[in-house]
Structure 1
């Protein structure tokens, strides 16, 4: 996701889950054929170098969690916090898993979709 109205739609209609390492906004959509993800880090976190590093850490955590556990279709916004850039990476991934589990209301690992939006068997 890149456009502001897309982010606002997820913020307005979706669920928000806060963890020590990030805030995740989730708008599940079973009819969608793809998973859309947006990343945002405010200027409160730091200068552009720090914000970009924080965004890269979020992107990598999501990539690894999606590869290991899969992601259901829908829209997701990951919001970086001050602690995101300094938090141990394994804890950051655990924060993301916890937020997804809590926000989706189910064990997202049981989702039939893999990170590519295809079935798990097809994604490998």
Structure 2
């Protein structure tokens, strides 16, 4: 499976993400993941870095069920309750995705489904 990261003419390069990612294969959509462990208990209440670690671990487990890895991810959408959490989230992301970055969207939201949830991330991949 090969993904391509073309840079569109006339569009400033993304800082930590790609504007366009293409590839051929099976499309995989992963629902937004929050910092819940296998027992449904929140990890890192009040700590965006700890929550990001749990969220990316959950995404990795979800990807694995389809035979995918983070190398197959073409799009991430970040929902954060405070845009100031993004540096911590990106630090964790960079450990899980050290190479070319997928297309991404980050949105600050008023709230998520639980007041303990500081962030939620959904992913799309091609396997």
TM-score in terms of structure 2 length: 0.30
Q: Which has the higher contact order (CA 8 A, sep 6+)?
A: 2
More helix by share: 1
Q: TM-score, structure 1 length as denominator?
A: 0.30
Bigger CA radius of gyration? 2
